[in-house]
Structure 1
């Protein structure tokens, strides 16, 4: 590919498709270069990783069809005592359960609010998937999800009954089986949404301690926080929390 065509392609992806340099320093040019190296020359991922000095996991993320991560998070709720039982989560706190999808550029792409804290994540997903605006995966695309979700086409969950969380693996306790290795790689990809939730709640204190608004308004406030997160991300990429 002619160099000026390559750079035009990268500029177009930046301008029209929301592709951004990654937070770990990988540029769009590197991402496109790796992709082109694979599709144009059928180069093995290990060779691409060596050429670009990135891990094979990183190269796989660029090449494969993992479109987003999806998960639920609990934010503070303020409800009448008569319905607190339904809003009491597994930590015995009064919350609403929020389902969200995020892309790898730290943008939330779909949010459902208002569910009781007692509601299970899989129930939220089952309901959301029936809605017209839900960004359902198609073809070979898939979401990475945690073990609380079903492992079905379009939704890739980890192996159950195996070590999974990042804290389970360190230099002294590396993966010892193929399933554990899969889980370690899986959580390294899915953990991105946990991090984004952390940034969101760190920025918007109301999500940690909701005021006495009505149930509908609390859901609207929560969605507004997600929208503001995206707006800040688009307009101030180097914000300290990012």
Structure 2
């Protein structure tokens, strides 16, 4: 700093004239102040009250990743949750309104902007932004998620199965299961455990979705190095799946074991027959819904493309929060035409978990293959008439 001061002083001494010395001194002191960092960083004033209401519907949706209508519905949900009610402080700075808290959180989830920039936009300190953002994560995960992310009621099973069947004719399906990697910065602890097969740090999100891409089950927290099948075996769904599905099915890819309630494709060793190949294509065409949902999730809530947090617990809450917001938009038919083309590590099928297949899974798969073969034959026969 001292050398920079001397250099600037020489520069101003050489370029200043006697009649402008006062002005040069002022400029010199201004630059020194900037170098020292002892200045008040300008912030955006009155952004929520004065600027946001002027946004068009499209601009609001671009910035906050949902329509005004969906935002108002979400705000109503949030106001009923414990921990977000406004208090009436007797002294000090007025409390930040719930609406502002929610707008800050949506901006955070929908962008890759740094905290400093977002804090300036909403006219709060960086520490205040972080504290309030974490409070929103707590509320969304602890209070809103149980209402928004839920398994279909048994009275809804037939409706969901019919919607899946309209895709490729696959019967009895009430969900599609898969995992996706959420890129994170290198954690402080057990850093190598989080490096996946694509050589970047990640946390795995496991999810089941309906045909409309609403999530009915989400589970996250395992490091990117872990195999999808192991994540499933350690998730609550492994135990509750048979009871939840009853006689219906969840579809998954070849990284998972084949069970009575969880159907996977025939393993392709290069010797599949025609019916097995067609069955696999039919299953894949039905199951692709879950992959599409991940692209929409990361395209809408761009924070999931790289979560720059140090606290693994709050990284998981950010992932879950995005799933909650995704469902709220899906329920309201609030679409956003931005899809993230994910660089997902391919499923590792080199060591299939055959020991985890139960006796009923492969048998049910074979029965379904023959059922679909009859359907295809009838369809072909009628088409030829």
TM-score class, shorter = 0.5 to 0.7
1:155 to 262, 265, 268: 262
Question: Counterpart in 1 of 2:206?
Answer: 99
**What CA distance in whole angstroms lies between the structure 2 residues aligned with 1:228 and 1:215?**
20
Question: Counterpart in 2 of 1:230?
Answer: 327
1:82 Cα offset (Å): 4.3
SS at match of 1:68: strand
Question: Counterpart in 1 of 2:234?
Answer: 127
**What CA distance in whole angstroms lies between the structure 1 residues aligned with 2:243 and 2:179?**
16
TM-superposition CA deviations, 1:189-229 (whole Å, max 9, x none): 11110010001011111111111240000000000000000
State whether structure 2 residue 324 is matched by structure 1 residue 215: no
TM-score, length-scaled by structure 2? 0.43
1:108 to 215, 230, 242: 215
**What CA distance in whole angstroms lies between the structure 2 residues aligned with 1:107 and 1:196?**
8
The count of aligned residue pairs is 182
2:242–2:261 CA contact under 8 A, matched in 1: no
Change (3 A) 1:178 1:91: same
Where do 1:1-242 residues align within 5 Å?
58=167, 60-61=169-170, 64-129=171-236, 136-161=243-268, 177-241=274-338
**What CA distance in whole angstroms lies between the structure 1 residues aligned with 2:179 and 2:320?**
14
1:117 Cα offset (Å): 0.3
Question: Counterpart in 1 of 2:27?
Answer: none
* Greater share of helix: 2
1:138 Cα offset (Å): 3.3
**What CA distance in whole angstroms lies between the structure 1 residues aligned with 2:174 and 2:223?**
28
**What CA distance in whole angstroms lies between the structure 2 residues aligned with 1:225 and 1:192?**
18
1:110–1:134 CA contact under 8 A, matched in 2: no
Q: Which runs of 5+ in 1 are unaligned?
A: 1-15, 23-30, 33-55, 164-174
2:168–2:282 CA contact under 8 A, matched in 1: no
1:131 Cα offset (Å): 7.3
Question: Counterpart in 2 of 1:51?
Answer: none
Change (3 A) 1:133 1:79: farther
**What CA distance in whole angstroms lies between the structure 2 residues aligned with 1:90 and 1:231?**
32
1:19–1:105 CA contact under 8 A, matched in 2: no
